[in-house]
Every structure is written in structure tokens, then in C-alpha cells.
Amino acid sequence: MEPTSQRPSSGSPLRRFGPLFALLAAVIVVVVIVVAGGSDNDGQEEVSPISGSTETADSDEQDAQTSDGNTEEDTSTNSEETAPTTTAPRPLGTDWGSDTGFRPGVMFFERAQELGLEIDWGERCDTTRGTLAIPSFFAGACAAPYEGWNGGATDRGVTEDSIRIVWWLSQDVDPVMAYLTSAIYNDDTTADDEHTIRGLLEYYETYYETYGRSVELTVMIGSGNILDAAAARADAVKVDEELDPFMVIGGPTLTNAFAEELHARGIPCISCGPGQTPEYHRERPGLAYTLGKGPQQSNMLVAEYIGKRLAGDAAIHAGDSSMHDTERRFGRIWNLASRASVDSNTQFEELLGEYDVEIVESQSYILDPATLQESAGTIIARMKEAGVTSVIFSGDPIAPRDFTNEAAAQDYWPEWIVTGSVLVDTTAFARTYHQEQWSHAFGVSNLSARVARSVASSHFLYEWFHGEPPRANDNIGIIDPAPGLFYAVLQAVGPELTIEGFNEALFAGDPTRRALTAPSLSYGDKDRWPESQEPDYHGVDDISEIWWDPTVEGLDEIDRDGRGMWQFANGGQRYLYGEIPEGPPPVFELDGAVTIYLSPPGSEAAPSYEPLRNR
């Protein structure tokens, strides 16, 4: 199966050619609990304007295993903004001219070919493909080596040879995080995470152009748990007053306090808290980026899926056969994580109303280990009393265990509609749910069809480069996307590194290429969302359709063997907003379904290379 073709690029040369970043993780997930083309070329290779890698129109046979995957109130105090150090007056180094379409000092392979420039690209570039010499279909475009002065201290946290980055990690003893990860026996420690992060930075700085600078990394361990707003705010104050970084990565995932305090102090961050509204981002341009969808974007896609795929039809996938002749009656269970959750729920119901769909029973819950089981019993009873045939679940990855166990105890067997809420759509967590109940689970996922991580994943690339697996064996798929995004954009910013330049480069880039085995990301105004959602500060734009198969055996996302896996319909085909077809979803059908690709689909295969550290 061929990946969906990318729409032709358009607009300015800057938009056409950069920043050319792509996902390197087979599983891109952001641990936040929220309510959440190439032209026809007759089989010849052409360099994609999205990721810089080549596309081939002819597809090889695919080796796949099938079954024969309100903002919190900002009460922070604005501190005095730190003015960036004045750029030194001497001229920058490498000058490609004024008509490149890029920021000063930046040049990518395809544009250099068009301009007839003679450049020594070095060993990090595969000049036959114009992409970085890494064994990934999603390898980014080669950036030209830069020589000379880079402007020095161009912004806060930036010097001639360093970029200060703070990476926030939760405590090893954080009881809330431990509760979330214990279900899948994740034993990675913060020391494992830090070692892996530093290994990833070495990998990226070997292949990506950084204009003479290296990341100076400080790992901050949270002073409180991931729910503690006061501790989160205190951590942000410390970041500002003691660490003085250019950017922060990560943050407490169940409170926005950390992100809001950073933003009030003019410090940008990537994936540093739960989702915010588009209005929040527009009021703080260039300060907050996420890798996943925003809550409103997720609502739009789920409402479209339900409206086009499910509404008006009988609940034929329910476990109770008496529901099979009953038109679907929808209920919703959602996580009350913050005031924003209430607004998100209201928006979701309004969006469903546009498809003439009504939620007949809506119940929220709070992620509290002490009360979850009791609240699950009450919520399931209300769903059953309301005659709900189809439960829409939007919440954390632990709660479905309690809800499905309670449903079985109450002899209630509805359809379970998954919405892509974080980690619920991973095999690792889904195996912890009541399997007879979950055998009636299906819906949409932000995740892509998996490739065995021993042949194509963040884990694979780390081991390929370092010659040993990452210490954060379980967490690397979560850790890697943020530095992947940072370094890809850094290439396109150029030597004059500023927060404004980072935002400009990110927004100027085309969407990443569309594929079966990776989501497509875009930022800025890309006409993928209605005007109310733009400019877009969120990453992943598309979804796949999935259903739970409790009978098939295989590896989960962290290489643990077991029974039960998510099946990806139509080989993992992905849809943008507005593209979901009308009619019943292709779920619980083995034809075309894929649990995991044992090797990348033929159209997404990558060449082999020796890592530079071995040359």
C-alpha cells in the first residue's frame, strides 16, 4: 500500500524548502493527560520538499504481521524580560547570497542544486538522495556545513559555542507518575532518561548543522509531583532566575502552572504541560509548542469520525447482541484534569451537534488512585441506565482498566470508542484492560502503524549510532521526538539563533511527508485546520483507524511479548481533518489490517549506512 501522496508545495521558497524536519520515532506520544506530495515521476526518485528524502512511485511487497495498536488561570507574576545580548558587529560566516529563500547562512541540498552551488557536504550527507546518511525513510534534508562567525550571543541562553537547554524530568518517586507507569512495568529511572537524552543529543549534533554551537544541557528534577501546581511554578522560577536557558523541554504533565510561569518570563518550551487553547498560543507567540494535537483539534477529528462513520447506524460491535439492532446511543467518559477539560467537553458536544449527534450521558472522573474504582462503578451504572450503546472514552491510560472491569461486573457490554487520548491506544496499556470488554474497542489513534522497533524506531537509531541500546529502553520513544523537532528547526534557523527566528523557521516549513508508519506534523498556517485553529502550534495533524484484537500475539511498544494487539485498518492509512470517509469503519476486518510491520513498507524503506562514529 502506498502512503497518501503529499499535496504539492506552494508559496515562498522559504516555505517550500525548510525546515525539512521529520519524526524519527515509530511511536510518537506526549505524556500529557488531557481531554483530549510528491508528483508522479514514473517510479523515479525525487527529493521530497517535506523531509528531503526520496520518494518512489512503485511500491514493493510489504512484510507485515497480521492476525492470522480553560487553560488554568494564569496567576504568575511577570518578571522583567531579559534583553538578548547585542549581536557582535562583525559579519556572519558563510554567505549563500540574498535570494536563497532561507534565513541568512542556511542552505539545503535541493536548493543548492538548483543554484548550482559547489558545496562539500561531508560524510553526514548522502548526496545521491540529498538526505542525512541515517537509515530512516524520514531522514531530514542535508544542511550545508557552516563556516565562520555565527553572531555569538544572539539571544538569551545562547553563546558563540553553546545553547543552554533545560530538560524537566519527574521524580523517580513521583507517586502519580508511578501509578501511570506501574501498569506496564516501566522501570526506567531519571538517571536512565538523562543518559539517553545525552546520547540522543550526541547523535543529533553529529548529523544536524548547529552553526558552531552545542547544547549545554541541564536536567531538572521536579520538586513536586506532576499534579503539584505550586511546585511546578517554583520550578519555573528557578529555571528563569538560576538556569537562564534559551528553551525548556518537558514539564509536569498534569498542570499548566510550569508552562504558564515560563511563558510569563519569556522562556519558550516544547511539550511542557497539558494542552492549551489556540487563543493561549496566539497571545504568546513563539513560546509554546507541542508534538501532539491540541485538545480542540482532537475533538474536531473525533467528532468527524463519529459523525461520518458511526452516527445513525446500529451498535453492531457491542458485546451485548441485543444492542446490534439498536441505533447507537452515545455516552462519554472524560478526564477532569483542569478547567480546560470542561471547556473541551462543551466544545466536543457542540461539534457533535453539527452532525446531529447527541451525548445522552456525559460523566467526568478525576485521576485519583484512591477513588477511581468507586467512581468507575457509579459512572458505568449511569451509562447502563441511560441505555448507552457506545461509550466514547477520552482520558488517561489507567482508568479504562477500572471502567472495563466495572462494566463486566455490571454485565454491561457496550462498544468502546477510543479517541486517541494519550497512551490508551498503545498495546502496552490496552493489555491491562478487561479483554472481553476491550474486544469491542475501536476508533481513532494519533499513533501510526508500528514497525518492529528493532528495524525502524528511535530505539533502533540509538543502538545503530551508539552500538548499544538506550538505558531508557522503555521511554526512548517518548523522549526522542522533542530533540528531533528542536534540531531539525535549529538547522533552518541558521547562525542568528533567536526565539523569533525559531518560530519563523518552524512556521515556514512544509508539513512532514505523509506515510503509513509516522504521523504528519505541521506548524503555522498550512490550511490543514479551520481558521480558528491557526496559526497551529501543535504538531501531529492526522489519525489512523484502529480496533482491538485480543487473540493475536506479538510485541508491544516496549518489546514485551503477549496476547492482544491493536490492529490498524487499511494498513495504517491516515486521514487529515475533512478526509475521513463516510460509511461504516473498516474495523474487526482482518483483510488489510496490520498489527506491526516486521520491516518498513516497501514505499518507506531506507538505505543502510555505517554510523559516523564508526568511520
How does pLDDT run across 562-575, given as a tens digit for each residue? 999 999 999 999 99
- For residue 235, the model assigns a pLDDT of 97
pLDDT band for position 308 (50/70/90)?
very high
Rounded to 5 degrees, φ, ψ at 104 are -55, 135
* Same structural domain, 187 and 260: yes
Residues 6+ positions from 47 with CB-CB distance below 8 Å: 53, 54, 109, 110, 129, 130, 131, 141
Query: Looking at the domain assignment, is residue 529 inside a domain?
Result: no
Q: How many domains does the chain have?
A: 2
Look at residue 260 and tell me if it is in a domain.
yes
CATH code: domain of residue 258 = 3.40.50.2300
Q: Give the model's pLDDT for residue 240.
A: 98
**What mean pLDDT value characterizes the chain?**
85
pLDDT of residue 218 exceeding 90 = yes
State pLDDT tens for residues 234-266.
Answer: 999 999 999 999 999 999 877 889 999 999 999
Contact 429, 478 (CB under 8 A): no
Domain boundary among 445, 479, 510: 445
388-435, pLDDT tens digit by residue?
999 999 999 999 999 999 999 999 999 999 999 988 999 999 999 999
Average pLDDT over residues 206-217: 98
Mean pLDDT over 85-110 rounds to 80
Q: What would the DSSP string read from start to end of 98-109? A: S-SSSSTT--BH
- What is the predicted pLDDT for the residue at 179? 64
Q: What is the DSSP string of 184-196?
A: TT----HHHHHHH
pLDDT on residue 186: 73
pLDDT 10s digits, 429-455: 999 999 999 999 999 999 999 999 889
Range of the domain at 212: 162-292+457-469
Average pLDDT over residues 147-171: 96
pLDDT confidence of residue 436: 98
Q: For 136-161, what is the mean pLDDT?
A: 95
Please report the pLDDT score of residue 177 as a whole number: 64
Residue 211 has pLDDT above 80, yes or no: yes
Give the number of C-alpha atoms closer than 13 A to the C-alpha of residue 479, restricted to the C-beta side: 27
Q: Could you tell me if 178 and 256 lie in one domain?
A: yes
Do 306 and 224 share a structural domain? no
> Quick one: 213 and 183 in the same domain?
yes
Q: Tell me the average pLDDT across 571-593.
A: 97
| 244 in a structural domain | yes
pLDDT digits (tens, 9 = 90+) for 180-206: 666 666 788 999 999 999 999 999 999
